[in-house]
Amino acid sequence: MTDKQMQFIAWLITTATDKCATIEDVRKMNEEIRRHAAGPMEENEKKGD
């Protein structure tokens, strides 16, 4: 991953979490980010369980 890609990811996450009012909102946002970061393969495996 390039530095520019890492900078973009950091910007994206901080921009999203800046919109959160509480730490609980941040935790929910992080959970959603992790779900999306898992990608379609893991999601499909979970659905098959």
Is the Cβ–Cβ distance between 13 and 33 less than 8 Å? yes
Instruction: Label residue 49 by pLDDT band (50, 70, 90).
Output: very low
Q: Number of C-alpha atoms within 13 angstroms, CB side, residue 47?
A: 6
Is the Cβ–Cβ distance between 43 and 36 less than 8 Å? no
Q: Quick one: tokens of 6?
A: 């890492």
The alpha-helical segments, DSSP class H, found in 1-49 are 3-18, 23-48
pLDDT in tens, 6-26: 999 899 888 988 989 999 999
* Cα–Cα distance for residue pair 45/42, rounded to 1 Å: 5
